[in-house]
Amino acid sequence: MAIATVNPANGETLRTFDELGAEQIEQRLAAAESAFRSYRTTGFSERARLLDRAADLLDQDQDDIARTMTIEMGKPLAAARAEAAKCAKAMRWYARNAEELLADEHPSQDEVADAGASHARVHYRPLGVVLAVMPWNFPLWQVVRFAAPALMAGNAGLLKHASNVPQTALYLGDLFRRAGFPDGVFQTLLVSSSAVEGILRDPRVAAATLTGSEPAGRSVAAIAGDEVKKTVLELGGSDPFVVMSSADIERAAAVAVTARVQNNGQSCIAAKRFLVHADVHEEFTRSFTARMAALAVGDPLAESTDVGPLATEQGRADVEALVDDAVRRGATALCGGQRPKHLPKDLSKGWFYEPTVLTGITPEMRIHREEAFGPVATVYRVQGIDEAVELANDTPFGLSSNVWTRDKAEQERFVRDIEAGGVFFNGMTASHPALPFGGVKRSGYGRELSGHGIREFCNATTVWHAAEPGNGS
């Protein structure tokens, strides 16, 4: 795949970039390893100063980088601005909290004595150079939620970004340089996927993190496993959005639209399967479908646009194939189900797809098992909580979940039984720097964000001091 900016709203190639050669990759690996050796000894106050400066610069650049993201992958401009603001917020959160999150841990004095020590503690040290393989759908946020904690922990970072967002990738490398981080501490590598294995196998790379598809995750995990290197994987999702009879139906339907079409429907944590109690199924489906059909599809740079194009031509083809398969096997498209027919001429070659609601889904349909990475929702009718839980878990993925119920007993049942990395009640799934983020099953392993995320790429070092003879220990 070429490293290029291709505007998904019209299919126009705007810029192309040369891939780094072997000598250039070697230079960057050497620079990263050298930078880590000195950067790891800096204090939290210095790292926080640098990260706060990066956040300030990002705020200043918000309009420009938002436009770049929109042109490269098609998200509505307002959403791109919000993404940039969220990244600055996360940087400041880690700058403020990293030292406390990585503070030494001290067992009780009784435990210390039982271990035969005069004193003992757990001390967190950075692992080293971490390779980040990142996707195009949230091209700024996915990187920052790795980079902010990794850099605050004292690691160095190498970014292999998706090949269709090279300008965003280069911006990130430049942002940390402008903020004053030492040369080599964070670098963007413009390379294809074929170069990842060699970089990951290099002994100067200590670990890797990947957000992306299940096949990509399997590949990186296999290589890292062969090299005995730590990985964190955030892969696909087919999140359930459960609506029980006690829910506020109109509010649930309104939030459901945002939960499904955020980022043009291209989000791992977007709600994709809507499991609705029979008592409120008709009311919810009617409201949800009307709201989906009313969304404005068009130029993502226009402030009035709700849904822009899919990021790639193949991505739209994949969504079309899932919908066509379902309809052919008996599903009903209550709205959408095709490419928009009334777009302006200048957008006629863009990779747009209508917001779509499907009902009548059965297990033999591909969309029942596969992730729909676009503005397509599937609505199921369930008879009660047992069926809701069973259907929510009837997926190879387990990233997050949304549950709408005001019944406390039902809430506890869903917390206990839903197989996912998160359960969000009466609201949509969202990521926040203070809360751990990640999944189970084929959605990956490990956690990003919060204290869990910053400790993923740290060495939890046991520090033990022998008890002095004769002190009674």
By annotation, the residues acting in catalysis are 234, 268
| 414 Cβ neighbours under 8 A, 6+ residues apart | 242, 385, 389, 401, 403, 405, 423, 425
> The tokens 């917001």 sit on which residue?
355
Residue type, 225: G
Secondary structure, 3-state, the chain:
CCCEEEECCCCEEEEECCCCCHHHHHHHHHHHHHHHHHHCCCCHHHHHHHHHHHHHHHHHCHHHHHHHHHHHHCCCHHHHHHHHHHHHHHHHHHHHHHHHHCCCECCCHHHHHHCCEEEEEEEEEECCEEEEECCCCCCCHHHHHHHHHHHHCCCEEEEECCCCCHHHHHHHHHHHHHCCCCCCCEEECCCCHHHHHHHHHCCCEEEEEEECCHHHHHHHHHHHHHHCCEEEEECCCCEEEEECCCCCHHHHHHHHHHHHHHHHHCCCCCEEEEEEECCCHHHHHHHHHHHHHCCCECCCCCCCCCECCCCCHHHHHHHHHHHHHHHHCCCEEEECCCCCCCCCHHHCCCCCCCCEEEECCCCCCHHHHCCCCCCEEEEEEECCHHHHHHHHCCCCEECCCEEECCCHHHHHHHHHHCCCCCCEECCCCCCCCCCCECCEECCEECCECHHHHHHCCEEEEEEEEECCCCCCC
For residue 288, CA distances in Å to 3, 72, 123 come to: 39, 30, 51
| Distance, CA of 273 to CA of 251 (rounded, Å) | 17
Report the C-alpha gap between 39 and 156 in whole angstroms: 8
